[in-house]
Amino acid sequence: MSGATAAQPKTSVSLGTATPGGGFPLYGGVVAEVINATDATLGVVPHNTKGSTENVPLLEAGQLDIALVQGEVAYEALSGIGRPPAHLKIVAAMYSTPGMFVVRADSPHRTIQDLRGKPVAFGAKGSGLVILARYVLDGLGLDPDRDFQAVYLDRAGDGPAMVIDGRVAALWGGGIGWPGFKAVAVGPAGARFIAPSVAEASRIRAKHAFLKPLTVAADSYPGQREPIASLGSWSFILARPNLPDDLGSRLARALHRGERALGERLAQARETTAANTAAAAPRPELIHPGVMRYLRDASIA
User: Do 187 and 84 lie in a common domain?
Assistant: no
Range of the domain at 279: 11-95+234-297
User: Do 104 and 224 lie in a common domain?
Assistant: yes
User: Do 43 and 108 lie in a common domain?
Assistant: no
pLDDT in tens, 82-122: 999 999 999 999 999 999 999 999 999 999 999 999 999 99
pLDDT for residue 2: 39
Number of domains the chain is built from: 2
Please list the alpha-helical segments (H only) found in the chain.
23-38, 52-60, 71-79, 128-138, 144-147, 159-164, 179-185, 198-207, 245-257, 259-265, 274-280, 289-297
pTM: 0.81
Q: How far is CA 219 from CA 104, 179, 212, 222, 262, in A?
A: 17, 15, 21, 6, 20
pLDDT in tens, 131-185: 999 999 999 999 999 999 999 999 888 999 999 999 999 999 998 889 999 999 9
Residues composing the chain: 301
Average pLDDT of the chain, as a whole number: 94
Asked whether residue 67 is assigned to any structural domain, the reply reads yes
Half-sphere exposure of 155 (CA within 13 A, CB side): 10
CB neighbour burial string for 6-17, b if at least 16 within 10 angstroms, e if fewer: eeeeebebbbbb
User: Do 220 and 245 lie in a common domain?
Assistant: no
User: Do 228 and 246 lie in a common domain?
Assistant: no
Say what percent of the chain tops pLDDT 90.
88
Asked whether residue 5 is assigned to any structural domain, the reply reads no
Asked whether residue 2 is assigned to any structural domain, the reply reads no
C-alpha to C-alpha distance for 29 and 290, rounded to whole angstroms? 23
User: Do 160 and 190 lie in a common domain?
Assistant: yes
User: Do 101 and 224 lie in a common domain?
Assistant: yes
C-alpha to C-alpha distance for 242 and 230, rounded to whole angstroms? 36
User: Do 103 and 226 lie in a common domain?
Assistant: yes
CATH number of the domain to which 131 belongs: 3.40.190.10
Per the DSSP assignment, residues forming a β-bridge with 148 are: none
Q: Which amino acid is at 151?
A: V
User: Do 261 and 282 lie in a common domain?
Assistant: yes
Asked whether residue 158 is assigned to any structural domain, the reply reads yes
User: Do 283 and 169 lie in a common domain?
Assistant: no
282 SS3 class: coil
Half-sphere exposure of 177 (CA within 13 A, CB side): 17
Asked whether residue 23 is assigned to any structural domain, the reply reads yes
Whether residue 17 is predicted with pLDDT greater than 70 in this model: the reply is yes
Q: How far is CA 222 from CA 40, 183, 198, in A?
A: 37, 10, 24
Q: Where are the beta strands (DSSP E) in 190-227?
A: 191-194, 212-216
Asked whether residue 90 is assigned to any structural domain, the reply reads yes
User: Do 206 and 105 lie in a common domain?
Assistant: yes
Q: Closest Cα to residue 127, out of 63, 172, 83?
A: 172
Asked whether residue 1 is assigned to any structural domain, the reply reads no
pLDDT for residue 267: 87
Using pLDDT thresholds of 50, 70 and 90, give the confidence band for residue 208. Answer: very high
